[in-house]
Each structure stands twice: as structure tokens, then as C-alpha cells.
Amino acid sequence: MNLGLVGKSVFVAAGSKGLGKASALEFAREGARVTIASRNLEQLQQTREDIQSITGNKVSIIQMDVRNNEDICNAIRKTAAENGGLDVVVTNAGGPESGYFSDLKDEDWTRGFELTLLSTIRLIREALPFLQSAGGGRIVNVASSSVKQPIDGLLLSNVFRAGVQALTKSLALEFAKDEILINTIAPGRIATDRIIELDRRRAIDRDRSFEDIQAEAVGQIPLGRMGIPEEFARVVVFYGSYANTYMTGQTLLVDGGMVKAL
């Protein structure tokens, strides 16, 4: 299948590690001109080296905190200026803090909103004019299985990811006329630093071993294992590709069957 990504300008937010890095790598393998952005410059440089040495394709890096609108505007404009426009945007960020309702104060809710929902709104708002002037494009939002089934102790994710899902559907309808296809991909448990960090915290909170917490979680997955970032990235790349011509406004789980809802 031809994904139609050769030479396309692809921007991956939070692309230095985990799911963002894996997605950037797969886009680069397909011959896209990839830009990754996140806060930590050293990590970005390392990831650029990794992707370039595997694919032989040039990768650009930009320092950006998705909670800062100026950073977002700068990153999107710079990407478009350097790569002759913008075709595909992956919105992504670090995960919000864990916590139950009684743990969370106004500042926590505000930070969660900025990191998870407002960053997606801002990235899309800044990117849209460039996608429109390219005659169309693809937007892929990285969310969580919490959009379909709340996750215990992850209230900020449960609430604000639902907003990302609603945004995806609304904007997909509004910008279909411009040939901009917008979808959300929702990971279940894909083995990255984020999952390890959450499981460590759960182990401490529940006074159980890390191994025990992980084994219990994997026991909920019909495929019997956590996913690997590449398995997630392949789905992101298809929805962010020009082989996808007729799917928009969707939220898709990549979860090994973990969520049981219809």
C-alpha cells in the first residue's frame, strides 16, 4: 500500500520519547520530512540521531512546551517555513498527573486542561491555515483508552481526553470541506516510560509490588501482553497518511482488546 507520505511535512508534538518518537520514526521510514518537538533539547537531539541513523532521512527538532502557546506558534511556523509547508500534525503531550477527585485542586485541573486539551486546541488552531493552504492534510490526536472507559486514579485524563474526542468529531465535520481528516488514536497499555511511572505510583499507593501491579494489568488484556510503541505508531501513521482517504472524526483504540465496551 502506498501511504503517500514521501516528502510530506509531518510535525509530531511530544516526539522525543515513547509514542511520539515511535510515530516520528515510522513517518520517517515512509519518507516524510519529520519535525519533532518537546521540552528537553538533549533528548530531542538523541532522538533525532536515532531516527536519522535508522532511516537515513533528515529529522528537524524544535524545543517546545505544549503548555505554552508562543512555543506552539513558533514550532508550527518554523516547521512550515523550513519544510515548505505542513501536511500532517500529530498532537501529543506528556500524560496528566494521576489523582482521585479529593486529591485534585483548581491548579491541578487547570494544569491538566492546559496539558491535555488546550494544547490540542492550540496545535490544531495554529496548524489549520497551513493544512488549508496545502489543499488538505491529516491530524492525528494521541489520547488514551480513558476516552472509552475511565481509568482508576486518572481523573484528569478521563475528563480532558473526552474533550479531545469531542474536539476531533467537531473539527472533522467543520474541516472536511478542506480535505482535512482528523482522527484520535487511543492507546491502552503500550510499554513506555509513562506506563512504568504510573505502575510505580500505583504500587506505592496500594502497598504492592511493581511486578504484581503490572501482572494484574496485563491480565486484563485479551492479547496477554502490553503493546510496543511501534504497534501504536503504525496505526498513527496510517491515519496520518494519504492512504486514509475516507475516515475522519473517529477515535480508535490500540489496546490489545483491553476495553470491553462495544
18, 137, 240, 256: which one binds ligand NAP (CB under 6 A):
18
39 binds ligand NAP per the rule CB under 6 A: yes
* Comparison of 174 and 205: residue with beta carbon closer to ligand NAP: 205
Query: CA-CA distances (angstroms) from residue 77 to 61, 86, 87?
Result: 13, 9, 13
| Residue of 49, 82, 103, 193 interacting with ligand NAP (CB under 6 A) | 193
208 in helix, strand or coil? coil
Binder of ligand NAP out of 9, 55, 120, 144 (CB under 6 A)? 144
**Position 78 contacts ligand NAP (CB under 6 A):** no
By CB under 6 A, is residue 169 in contact with ligand NAP?
A: no
Stretch that binds ligand NAP, among 103-111, 175-183, 187-195, 206-214 (CB under 6 A): 187-195
Indicate whether 20 belongs to the interface with ligand NAP (CB under 6 A).
yes
Q: Which residue, 16 or 251, is less far from ligand NAP as judged by CB?
A: 16
CB atoms near residue 29 (< 10 Å): 18
Closer to ligand NAP at the Cβ: 182 or 190?
190
Q: How many beta carbons lie within 10 A of that of residue 177, not counting itself?
A: 8
- Tell whether residue 189 is a contact of ligand NAP (CB under 6 A): yes
If binding is defined by CB under 6 A, does position 147 make contact with ligand NAP? no
Q: Where are the alpha helices (DSSP H) in 33-154?
A: 41-55, 69-82, 106-112, 119-133
Cell of 228: 510496543
Fill in the amino acid letter for 189. Answer: R
Does 184 bind ligand NAP (CB under 6 A)? Our answer is no
Applying CB under 6 A, among 25, 66, 140, 182 the residue interacting with ligand NAP is: 66
Instruction: From 99, 145, 93, 146, select the one nearest 115 (Cα to Cα).
Output: 93
Residue from 240, 245, 246 nearest 27 by CA: 240
112 binds ligand NAP (CB under 6 A): no
User: Does residue 95 bind ligand NAP (CB under 6 A)?
Assistant: yes
Q: How many CB atoms lie within 10 A of CB 100?
A: 11
176: its cell numbers: 472536511
Within a 10 A sphere around the Cβ of 1, how many other Cβ atoms?
A: 6
> What value, to the nearest 5°, has the Cα angle with vertex 24 and ends 19 and 30?
130
E-strand stretches of the chain? 9-13, 33-38, 59-63, 88-91, 137-142, 180-187, 251-254
Closer CB to ligand NAP, 142 or 182, in the complex: 142
Looking only at residues 216 through 235 of this chain, which bind ligand NAP when binding is defined by CB under 6 A? none
According to the binding rule CB under 6 A, does residue 142 interact with ligand NAP? yes
Alpha-carbon gap, residue 99 to 104, rounded angstroms: 7
Residues in the interface with ligand NAP (CB under 6 A) total 27
Question: Residue numbers of the site for ligand NAP (CB under 6 A)?
Answer: 14, 16-20, 38-40, 43, 64-67, 92-95, 142, 144, 187, 189-190, 192-195
